[in-house]
Structures are given as C-alpha cells and as structure tokens.
Amino acid sequence: MNQKQAAAKIHVERLQKRNEIIARIERLKIKIPIAKYNTAQAENRRLKQERNEAQARKAELQARDEPLKIRADNYKARLQGRERQCEKASESLNRTLAEIKKCENKSVEYEDEAAERDRDILRIKKKVSKRRAELEDLERDIVKLEKTAKKYEQNLERMGEDPTTEIQVRVVFRNIN
C-alpha cells in the first residue's frame, strides 16, 4: 500500500506541477498581448517621429529650392523670347539680303545695313547660347533636387501612410526646344 501511495503521490505531484505550469501559461497569455501592444505603440511613435522629420526636411527642401525653379522658369521664358527675337531678326535679314541682291549695284548702303544686321544676329545668338547654357545648368540642378525630393518621398512612403495626414506632391517637367 505504501508503494501505491508513493506512486500516487508522485502522480499527484506531477499533476500539481502541471496545473501550476498551465496557470503560469495562462498568466503569460494575458501579459504577452500587453507587451506586444506596448512594443508596437513605441514603434508607432518612433515611426511617426521619423515621418514628421522627413516631412519637415521635405518642406525645408521645397522652400529652399522653389526660388531656383522659379528662376529657371523665368530663364526659359526669356530664352524663348530671345529665340523669337533671333527668328524675327533672321527673317528680317533674309528679306534685307534679298533686297540687297536685287539692288546690289545701286548702293553700298545695303551692304552696310546687312553687316550691321549680321552683327546684331551674332550678338543675339551669343546671348541665346549663353542663356541656353545657364538654363542647362539650372535644369541639371533641378533634376538633382527632384531626385532628392523623390528620395524623401520614397522614405515617407516606406514609413507607411498616416490616415490623419495628406501629402500632395506636384512635379512639373517642361521640355525646352
């Protein structure tokens, strides 16, 4: 009988330990979701802070680079104006040359006028080429800045969407001919 009691005692102790372990598991099941929630909440706060920093950086870059874009657009508009002037001067020169060929023997004045117009055209063409070079430099700068802005936008996208904020990004590409 002592043997049966000893065997039963071992079995009872095993059951008690098992019940203790089950109770401990149940307590942990309650604590684990709270710990996961706290961890997720901390990660969410960190990501929000990173997103806000990235948005601030984006706004800073846009504020810094917007005047360059405006200047580039102004240069493009002036370039187009100069090109129109050059075209008009070329057309005028062509008409003048036609008249000169007709009246070549009549007067030397036409040759002087044609030379003056040639000088004007060369001067205008030099201005146009100089402006075009400045525009190309500005366009390279704009491309670099747009790549930087895209990089920060991608960083924002990787951080995930925040349903409380709305971001609008507008990029305008224009072709200069």
pLDDT for 46:
93
Is 0.75 surpassed by the pTM of this model?
A: no
Q: State the Cα–Cα distance between residues 109 and 115, nearest whole angstrom.
A: 10
Token pair for residue 48?
């929000």
pLDDT for 169:
55
Q: pLDDT tens-digit profile of 116-175?
A: 889 988 999 999 999 889 888 888 888 888 888 888 888 877 876 655 555 565 555 555
Per-domain residue ranges of the chain: 2-159
Provide the greatest CA pair distance for the chain.
Answer: 148
Q: pLDDT tens-digit profile of 41-89?
A: 889 999 999 999 999 998 888 888 788 788 888 888 888 888 888 888 8
Picking from 152, 145, 177, 146, the residue whose alpha carbon sits closest to that of residue 167 is 152
- How buried is residue 142: exposed, middle or buried, by Cβ count under 10 Å (0-12/13-18/19+)? buried
Residue 35 has pLDDT above 80, yes or no: no
Please give the average per-residue pLDDT across 22-40, as a whole number: 79
pLDDT for 164:
58
Where does residue 165 fall: left (phi above 0), alpha (psi -120 to 50 degrees), or beta otherwise? beta
